[in-house]
């Protein structure tokens, strides 16, 4: 193998492992989730104020987001605190989905 072939193979092996790419992707996902959570909470509050009823569907999106985050971190780090937090948020998600359908959409 010559130098160019080795460099090309290295580029192909490390494709999508660029630290800058990974960092911007993680930050983008983080800020996107924060924006989605703020929107869910705002819609939850607006429904409560205007319609006088609680829409638990928005709350279930909020809790599912946190459950997925905690459980993913637990899977990667094996930190028991993340497991407990993820399990509680998953339970809150199930409860809020049930409440959403019981109390009407």
If you count DSSP H runs as helices and E runs as strands, how many of each does the chain have, helices first? 4, 0
Closest CA to 86 of 69, 67, 72, 73: 67
Q: How many residues does the chain have?
A: 105
Distance (Å, whole) CA 82 – CA 65: 14
CB 73 within 8 A of CB 79: yes
Please report, for the chain, the start and end positions of each structural domain, with discontinuous segments joined by +. 16-102
Sequential pLDDT tens for the chain (105 residues) = 677 887 787 777 776 677 777 788 778 888 888 888 888 888 888 988 998 888 888 889 888 988 998 999 899 999 999 999 999 999 999 999 998 898 865
Matching residue, tokens 């072939």: 5
Q: What is the number of alpha carbons within 13 Å of residue 86 lying toward its C-beta?
A: 14
Distance (Å, whole) CA 15 – CA 30: 22
What per-residue confidence (pLDDT) applies to 105? 59
């Amino acid at each position: 193998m010559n130098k160019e072939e080795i460099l090309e193979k290295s580029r192909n092996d490390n494709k999508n492992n660029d630290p800058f790419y990974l960092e911007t992707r993680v930050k983008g996902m983080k800020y996107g989730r924060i924006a989605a959570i703020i929107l869910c909470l705002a819609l939850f509050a607006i429904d409560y104020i205007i319609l006088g009823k609680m829409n638990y569907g928005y709350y279930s999106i909020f809790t599912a987001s946190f459950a997925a985050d905690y459980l993913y971190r637990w899977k990667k780090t094996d930190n028991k605190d993340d497991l407990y937090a993820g399990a509680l948020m998953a339970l809150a998600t199930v409860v809020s989905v049930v409440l959403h359908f019981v109390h009407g959409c």
